[in-house]
Structures are given as structure tokens and as C-alpha cells.
């Protein structure tokens, strides 16, 4: 049995239960009865995974796709850390400038500690 989040609602226009699978963009199905809709969803999930494998793209079972930035995020996460970071002014994929400054400072301090130790505590 495949375990993914299913959003199920009654579609008045289709006169059927509509099932959306948030982990897979554009993946949805329907069924005249509830059980048939869920059964169709399980089949379409497997087809989606098979197609992704054929294309060389695999979505892990414990991740889902953020609808805004299309990044893979943990299934249990309520928010996308990339979208939140962008709201705070950070860019995805590149560390912010202050992180680089701290890294450089740590390297400089580490160098001076090493020089001090080798000068005053030889051997």
C-alpha cells in the first residue's frame, strides 16, 4: 500500500469524489464512489512514480513538492524552508553574506590560535 496524503472532496461539476495528491504536482483523479476514487488514486500514484523513474526523476516517499518554488521538502513540514528563507531575504542555493563572514572569521581565529599554540607550546 502506498502512503501519501490524499485530499478528497466532492466535485459537484464532475458528480464524483475528486482526489488530489499534493506530493505529486498535477496528480489527481476521481471516482463515482469514495472507495473507487481512493483506488484510482493508488493506481495513478504508481503510474506517476513509474513515469518519474523513466524520466530519471524520483520523488522520495518522505518528501513532497512545494507548490510555490517546486523544491522537495519533508512530508511533515508545514512550510517550505526555501520559501520562508526567500521571504527573509535569503536566496536559495547561495549562503547569505553574513554566513560567509562568520566562516571567514572562524578560519582567521583558528589560524591565530594555531600560530599561538605552536609558538608558545612547541612540540
CB atoms within 10 A of CB 66: 18
Contact (Cβ atoms closer than 8 angstroms) between residue 92 and residue 106:
no
Q: What is the dihedral of CA 52, 55, 56, 60, to 10 degrees?
A: -10
Q: Which residue has the cell 476514487?
A: 37
pTM given for the model: 0.47
By mean pLDDT, which of 33-37, 49-53, 86-90, 96-100 is the weakest? 86-90
In order of their start, the domains of the chain are 1-59 (3.30.160.250)
Residues 6 or more apart in contact with residue 64 via CB below 8 angstroms:
5, 22, 23, 72, 73, 74, 75
Rounded Cα distance between 17 and 95, Å, is 45
Rounded Cα distance between 38 and 5, Å, is 11
27-66 per-position pLDDT tens digit: 889 999 999 999 999 999 888 888 888 888 766 555 667 7
Amino acid at each position: 500500500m502506498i502512503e501519501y496524503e490524499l485530499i478528497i472532496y466532492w466535485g459537484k461539476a464532475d458528480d464524483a469524489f475528486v482526489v488530489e495528491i499534493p506530493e505529486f504536482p498535477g496528480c489527481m483523479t476521481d471516482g463515482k464512489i469514495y472507495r473507487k476514487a481512493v483506488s484510482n488514486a493508488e493506481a495513478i500514484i504508481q503510474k506517476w512514480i513509474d513515469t518519474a523513474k523513466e524520466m530519471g526523476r524520483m520523488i522520495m516517499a518522505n518528501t513532497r513538492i512545494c507548490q510555490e518554488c517546486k523544491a522537495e521538502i519533508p512530508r511533515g513540514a508545514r512550510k517550505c524552508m526555501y520559501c520562508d528563507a526567500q521571504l527573509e531575504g535569503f536566496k536559495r542555493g547561495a549562503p547569505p553574506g553574513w554566513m560567509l563572514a562568520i566562516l571567514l572569521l572562524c578560519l582567521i581565529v583558528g589560524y591565530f590560535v594555531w600560530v599561538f599554540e605552536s609558538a608558545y607550546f612547541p612540540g
